[in-house]
Structure 1
Amino acid sequence: MRVVFMGTPDFAVPSLRALAAAHDVTLVLTRPDAVRGRGKRLEPSPVKAAATELGIDVLETNRITPETLDRIVAERPDIICVAAYGCILPDSVLDVAPLGCVNVHGSPLPRWRGAAPIQRAVLEGDELAGVSIMRVVHDLDAGAYCRQTTTPVGEKSCPVLMAEVAELGATELLAALDDIEAGRATWVEQDESQVTYAKKIDKAEMRLDPADPADANLRRVRASLDAAPARLTVCGKGVRAIDARPSDADVDAGSVLVRKGRVHLGCADGAIELTRVKPDGKREMEAAAWSQGLHADAPTWERL
């Protein structure tokens, strides 16, 4: 099939690569180059980089202008595939391809429609994350889906879980296109009574708090991404919690116990152990190395 693909971040790359191997991807739309990561230089989106490597024409745009729509129509796509493009698609796009427009959405719909489904699944303690291949419709993530699969969240960090779901999405997308092309796709309408929305993560939500349960603080660490990191204050200094695990240490809420190079934080109902951190203004390091600089006799921690 002739495919126009739309996507921007790392999450979309496995889907693009899978499509390019199995179908004729004639055009890729992605967000324009931007300052990404810790550098100050403009960098291409991961999708642009992958498309360039694959020799596919790329169109960079933040919105679907009349000129962009004309270009999409000129490609004569059989189907349009979307994965975390980051732009609202006008209704005029949805009727361009005879087989429609489908989206790789990172949740088992109707759970977590919206911008941050995988982070929300981690932050809210969901047992399962997943992916749905759904029709793009006018309302946000409200279309029927034809393929869906899940994976346990467990103790996975958000980056690990996102990579796993992205690969599942690529597999399900190819299967969906086979079904759609053969006319055997079964579309399931979402149960509106079960809908939840995954709004963008606010940085304030990710601040660890000694007044909260240990599990809530652990979930913040696991849900942490560069755009919204898990942070706290230890002995009056800011630090990012990169990795942590449950702890059975007996520590009062707000106290820090350093024992044999292990750093335990007291929470409302128990403790967590920091295993990797990034102090403000310093490099990322093991918590054991960082703990050597905690010279207070009775170190404490608090919400940043």
Structure 2
Amino acid sequence: MRIVFMGTPDFAVPTLSEIVGRGHEVVAVYTRAPAPAGRRGLDLTPSPVHAVAERFGLPVFTPKSLKGEEAAEAFRAHDADVAVVVAYGLILPQAILDAPRLGCLNLHGSLLPRWRGAAPIQRAIMAGDRETGVAVMQMEAGLDTGPVGLVERIPIGPDMTAGELHDRMMVIGADLMGRALAALERGGLAFTPQPATGVEYAAKIEKAETRIDWSKPAQEVHDRIRGLSPFPGAWFPLGAEEARVKVLRSTLAEGSAAPGMVLDDRLTIACGAGAVRLVELQKAGKQPMGAETFLRGNAVPPGSRLA
């Protein structure tokens, strides 16, 4: 089929590669414009999708907006059978959604209608979900409201981080989209409307959510740590300078005391109920390190209390 691919981050790269590998004709790749990088922001770095598209020799388009008749006319000129959208980053107006003969398919990282929106991977873990998935849906004007064609369910392990789930999901999602396109080409991809119940919105992660609140139950603290790992990272201030320390990995532990109390020499921290053990940490400008290595250069003695 003639396909327009629309995506930007690493998450979208395996799907683009899958589409090319299956022999489809990718007539255009839409992605975000190169972003300033380097110390002075003078260098422009293309998106991961942009870089891969160029290696495949595919035509790349980086409009700042898709609004207006000029953008719609340029999109229609690709004469695409279908558009595939994976974490593109721009809103698709109705004229764009209507342009491909078979519409626009979106790969979304959740079990819709739960976790519609910007941060479904992080929100699923932060909420303590034990299962999530990837879905191929037909796009429409609403936010992730379209009917679903294919779904693959993915278990969430008790210590799995958002980064680990992201990496697993993007591989499974690429295969799922490949199968969806094959079914669509045969005329055998059936879409089911999303149920009206069970809708949850995965709002963008705000900075205020990233500081660890030790007064919360240990399970909630643990879920927040792994849901925000590796980026933006849940953190706590340490020492008189209140240097930010990100916690990239934790596990549930036994013990109780006042919230924030350090219970032992393995960085077990008391929470509002129960405790968590900090397994991997990172100070600003430093590489991630295990708790044992971290404690060699940072004084966090048992009996002290984290803010």
TM range (shorter): over 0.9
Tell whether 2:120 aligns with 1:114. Answer: no
Change beyond 3 A, Cα 1:60–1:78: same
**Structure 1 residue aligned with 2:34:** 33
Change beyond 3 A, Cα 1:61–1:182: same
CA distance in structure 2 between the aligned counterparts of 1:160 and 1:297, rounded to whole angstroms:
31
CA distance in structure 2 between the aligned counterparts of 1:117 and 1:295, rounded to whole angstroms:
34
CA distance in structure 2 between the aligned counterparts of 1:38 and 1:128, rounded to whole angstroms:
40
**Structure 2 residue aligned with 1:243:** 249
CA distance in structure 1 between the aligned counterparts of 2:38 and 2:197, rounded to whole angstroms:
39
**Contact 2:121 2:162 survives alignment (8 Å):** yes
1:285 to 266, 289, 298: 289
Structure 2 unaligned segments of length 5 or more: list them: none
CA distance in structure 2 between the aligned counterparts of 1:218 and 1:36, rounded to whole angstroms:
33
CA distance in structure 1 between the aligned counterparts of 2:138 and 2:209, rounded to whole angstroms:
31
Deviation of 1:176 after TM superposition, in Å, equals 1.1
Aligned pairs for 1:119-268 (under 5 A) are: 119-154=122-157, 155-225=159-229, 227-236=231-240, 237=242, 238-259=244-265, 262-268=266-272
**TM-score normalised by length of structure 1:** 0.92
1:273 to 253, 277, 294: 277
Change beyond 3 A, Cα 1:222–1:190: same
Deviation of 1:39 after TM superposition, in Å, equals 9.3
Deviation of 1:297 after TM superposition, in Å, equals 7.0
**Contact 1:231 1:240 survives alignment (8 Å):** yes
CA distance in structure 2 between the aligned counterparts of 1:36 and 1:190, rounded to whole angstroms:
40
**Contact 2:65 2:90 survives alignment (8 Å):** yes
**Alignment coverage as a number of residue pairs:** 300
**Structure 1 residue aligned with 2:306:** 301
Tell whether 2:89 aligns with 1:83. Answer: no
**Cα deviations by residue, 1:102-126 (Å, 9 ceiling, x for unpaired):** 1001111111111111111011011
Deviation of 1:199 after TM superposition, in Å, equals 0.8
CA distance in structure 2 between the aligned counterparts of 1:13 and 1:148, rounded to whole angstroms:
19
Tell whether 2:105 aligns with 1:99. Answer: no
CA distance in structure 2 between the aligned counterparts of 1:160 and 1:103, rounded to whole angstroms:
22
**TM-score normalised by length of structure 2:** 0.91
CA distance in structure 2 between the aligned counterparts of 1:87 and 1:205, rounded to whole angstroms:
25
RMSD (Å), alpha carbons: 2.0
Structure 1 unaligned segments of length 5 or more: list them: none
Change beyond 3 A, Cα 1:11–1:24: same
Percent identical among aligned pairs is: 36
Secondary structure, counterpart of 1:80 in structure 2: strand
Deviation of 1:198 after TM superposition, in Å, equals 0.7
**Which stretches of structure 1, 4 residues or more, deviate above 3 A after TM superposition?**
35-42, 65-68, 249-252, 280-283, 295-298
